[in-house]
């Protein structure tokens, strides 16, 4: 969406604050021994308790075989995004875990993700992967000013990936958001400066770089939702919802 009124902005800020708060609690709960289904239930309850609605639950984008069956996406190690929570999936120390969550509040949609290491420490390459992906997020957000092209954002992600010799996850990317989970335009994580659509001030975007330790190619798992790295390398993912402005964007979902 493109923001038109002060109320639009206020409502989106409120939605973003709720989402950041829930993700923070989930991050703290993502400890060794917890199942991904338990985290999903926590997410759903926390969202509802705050007067919002889980945006991913039963969401069926064009082309999806089945609706998404949970509130939260949890993607572990070589899974990159859209991992479906399960009672059989237990977090282990050292796992690289992406928590991706969306909600709507009074009809305003926001979307955010973050990646953590279970147990905090993990191995050095995991820490480096996560730090680089966060840096890619910051670079991508900084590139998203009014008058910029969508390709500028992808170019910013690619630059950071190159610097760390990491792969940019192919085919997946960010999107406009605000009145639905996914709105146009698509914001690729690969791109060339000056190419693609021009971003207007007030556009609400979910920017979400994903980097991997290997190549960027992905495969869709048998559950029809989980995307994994083809070469089984580990991946990280950060996502923020922002409002495009003349200068630095306003971040609605602070990490
Ligand atoms: N942040 C995810 C994305 O933009 C949201 C997926 S919605 C789901 O792709 F329902 F597919 F989980
Ligand atoms: Co998204």
The reply to whether 195 falls in a domain is yes
For residue 35, what pLDDT is reported?
99
The reply to whether 196 falls in a domain is yes
Instruction: Give strand pairing partners of 145.
Output: none
Residue 82, domain CATH: 3.90.230.10
All residues at 6 or more sequence positions from 120 whose CB lies less than 8 Å from its CB, including other chains: none
Ligand 1 atom with the smallest distance to the CA of 112 is 1
> What are 49-77's pLDDT values in tens digits?
999 999 999 999 999 999 999 999 999 99
- Under the banding of pLDDT at 50, 70 and 90, the label for residue 88 is very high
For residue 212, what pLDDT is reported?
99
How many distinct structural domains can be found in the chain?
Answer: 1
Spatial separation of the C-alpha atoms in residues 7 and 186, rounded to whole Å:
26
The reply to whether 126 falls in a domain is yes
Q: Which tokens hold the place of 234?
A: 């580990």
226 CA from centroid of ligand 2 (Å)? 14
The reply to whether 218 falls in a domain is yes
CB of 82 within 6 A of ligand 1: the answer is: yes
The reply to whether 99 falls in a domain is yes
CB of 100 within 6 A of ligand 1: the answer is: yes
Q: What Cα–Cα distance (Å) separates residue 182 from each residue in 14, 28, 179, 206?
A: 19, 28, 8, 9
> What are 124-159's pLDDT values in tens digits?
999 999 999 999 999 999 999 999 999 999 999 999
The reply to whether 204 falls in a domain is yes
The reply to whether 101 falls in a domain is yes
32 CA from centroid of ligand 2 (Å)? 26
For residue 71, what pLDDT is reported?
99
In which domain, by residue range, is 147 found? 6-251
For residue 9, what pLDDT is reported?
98
Mean pLDDT, range 94-119, rounded to an integer? 98
For residue 230, what pLDDT is reported?
98
- If one residue of 70, 73, 177 were mutated to test the ligand 1 pocket, choosing by the most ligand atoms within 8 A of its CB, it would be 73
CB of 59 within 6 A of ligand 1: the answer is: yes
- Under the banding of pLDDT at 50, 70 and 90, the label for residue 254 is very high
Return the number of other C-beta atoms located less than 10 Å from residue 76's C-beta. Answer: 20
Candidates 127, 155, 147, 120; CA nearest to 247 is: 147
The fraction of the chain above a pLDDT of 70, given in percent, is 100
Global pTM value:
0.98
76 CA from centroid of ligand 1 (Å)? 15
The reply to whether 1 falls in a domain is no
């Amino acid at each position: 969406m493109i923001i038109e009124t002060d109320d639009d902005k206020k409502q989106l800020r409120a939605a973003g604050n709720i989402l950041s708060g829930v993700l923070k609690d989930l991050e703290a709960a993502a400890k060794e021994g917890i199942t991904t289904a338990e985290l999903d239930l926590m997410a759903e309850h926390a969202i509802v308790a705050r007067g919002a609605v889980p945006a991913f639950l039963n969401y069926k984008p064009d082309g999806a075989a089945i609706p998404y069956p949970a509130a939260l996406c949890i993607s572990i190690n070589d899974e990159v995004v859209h991992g479906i929570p399960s009672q059989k999936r237990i977090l282990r120390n050292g796992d690289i875990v992406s928590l991706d969550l969306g909600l709507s509040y009074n009809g305003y949609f926001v979307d955010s993700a973050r990646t953590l290491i279970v147990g905090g420490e993990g191995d050095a390459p995991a820490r480096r992967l996560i730090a680089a992906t966060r840096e890619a997020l910051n670079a991508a957000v900084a590139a998203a000013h009014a008058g910029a092209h969508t390709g500028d954002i992808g170019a910013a992600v690619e630059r950071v990936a190159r610097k760390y010799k990491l792969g940019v996850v192919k085919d997946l990317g960010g999107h406009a958001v605000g009145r639905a989970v996914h709105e146009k335009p698509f914001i690729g994580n690969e791109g060339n400066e000056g190419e693609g659509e021009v971003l207007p001030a007030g556009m609400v975007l979910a920017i979400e770089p994903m980097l991997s330790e290997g190549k960027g190619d992905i495969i869709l798992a048998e559950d029809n939702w989980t995307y994994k790295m083809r070469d089984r390398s580990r991946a990280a993912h950060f996502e923020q919802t922002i409002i495009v402005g003349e200068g630095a964007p306003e971040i609605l979902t602070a990490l």
